[in-house]
Amino acid sequence: AQSVTQLDSQVPVFEEAPVELRCNYSSSVSVYLFWYVQYPNQGLQLLLKYLSGSTLVKGINGFEAEFNKSQTSFHLRKPSVHISDTAEYFCAVSDSTGIRTALIFGKGTTLSVSS
């Protein structure tokens, strides 16, 4: 069975500071990994995804994530955050064995950016 653990439930940070949102996964098979963002009162938007190949993945809005197989991690980073990055961030995994795609989500990390 697969699972996702987001290590921080809340991350407060000042504007223009760097941020890292941590995500660890557990799986006995190869996986695909995703980060989604949910702005207040909105649906989920895909930030970036790791399918294969380069372990450093670049996404939208200046975010990037690094897949680390030995650490079973997929941490999300941004070098300089904006107030508008305040949102809920979900790490998710899907089964790459071809059985089903449905995502397994972590519990989410609330990023709060203040001036």
Partner 1 sequence: DTEVTQTPKHLVMGMTNKKSLKCEQHMGHRAMYWYKQKAKKPPELMFVYSYEKLSINESVPSRFSPECPNSSLLNLHLHALQPEDSALYLCASSQDSTAGRSGNTIYFGEGSWLTVV
| Residues at the contact surface with partner 1, assessed by CB under 8 A | 32, 34, 36, 41-46, 49, 51, 90, 94-103, 105-108
Which residue number, 5 or 15, has a Cβ lying nearer to partner 1? 5
CB of 44 vs partner 1, minimal distance in Å: 4
Q: Exposed e or buried b for every residue in 79-113, given b needs 16+ CB within 10 A?
A: eebeeebbbbbbbbbbbeeeeeeebbebebbebeb
Which H or E run contains 83?
Answer: none
Which residue number, 8 or 15, has a Cβ lying nearer to partner 1? 8
Which residue number, 15 or 103, has a Cβ lying nearer to partner 1? 103
CB of 83 vs partner 1, minimal distance in Å: 21
CA–CA separation, 19 and 111 (whole Å): 9
